[in-house]
Amino acid sequence: MKDGPDIAQIAALIGDPARANMLTALMSGKALTAGELAREAGISPQTASSHLKKLLDGRLVRVRGQGRHKYYGLSGEDVAHTLEHLMGLAAGRGHLRTRTGPSDAEMREARVCYNHLAGSRGVQMFTAMRARGYLDANDDAVTLTEPGARFCSGFGIDLDALARSRAPLCRPCLDWSERETHLAGKLGRAMLTRMEEIGWLARKPDSRIIRFTRTGAAEFDALFGA
């Protein structure tokens, strides 16, 4: 038997359609109950409980109690990155869901990827920050430059507070719909949070979709336009 990580076990956990739907629902970053996840997957609560146990044993999700309820979420940002990459791979091979509707265009424009901005807006922000010398980036790593630090501080990001956490400040994340990079890591999360704080955007309830206000879209384009 070969040594090393057992990718087959992880792939099997993600590969089940019901579990894949449950994991995708958690990409919003919002914790959900077993009942809510059962509805997302279109399965019974009993079946959902069995799937959640497997995901917990595989350490792809975590659970925390609040009163009489238990809430499930992805176990970490690395799981979200893996799911986003798999979505891009599936889209690139033509393996698309048949469900269509008005929300599709919104999902492609702006959505939450666990805790940061994704979609064409996320790619637009990353591309502009790199072009202006705020980010030094390649396919494997992203570094915030000194001009980038000044820009982020001016935008209202507390970089000293971010430095207290050992998590990566910047990470590249391949966007599944755009097939280009958007910004993840602590800075990606902070940028999305800041845009919410100043009223540029809001999250659509019970969805990964992000909707910019008219003013927010104009301000965003002014800051991250061509």
Looking up residue 12, the CATH number of its domain turns out to be 1.10.10.10
Does 1 map to a domain? no
Show which of 16, 43, 75 is a domain's final residue: 75
Q: What string of pLDDT tens digits covers the 226 residues of the chain?
A: 466 678 899 999 999 999 999 998 898 877 889 999 999 899 999 999 999 999 999 999 999 887 788 899 999 888 988 888 888 787 766 666 654 444 588 989 999 998 899 999 999 999 999 999 999 988 778 999 999 999 999 999 999 999 998 889 999 988 888 888 999 999 999 999 999 999 999 999 888 899 999 999 999 999 998 6
Q: What type of residue sits at position 138?
A: N
| Structural domains in the chain (count) | 2
CA nearest to 132, candidates 152, 116, 147, 115 = 147
pLDDT for 92 equals 67
- What 124-130 contacts at long range (C-beta under 8 Å, 24+ apart), as own/partner pairs, is 124/220, 124/224, 125/182, 125/183, 125/191, 125/220, 125/224, 126/180, 126/181, 126/182, 126/183, 127/180, 128/223, 128/224, 128/225, 128/226, 129/183, 129/224
Predicted TM-score of the model (pTM):
0.72
Domain check: are 58 and 165 in the same one?
Answer: no
**Do residues 68 and 84 both lie within one domain?**
no
* The domain boundary residue, chosen from 52, 75, 98: 75
- Rounded Cα distance between 128 and 136, Å, is 12
Structural domain that includes position 17: 7-75
Provide the token pair at 30: 């919002």
Is 163 a domain residue? yes
If asked whether residues 33 and 128 sit together in one domain, one would say no
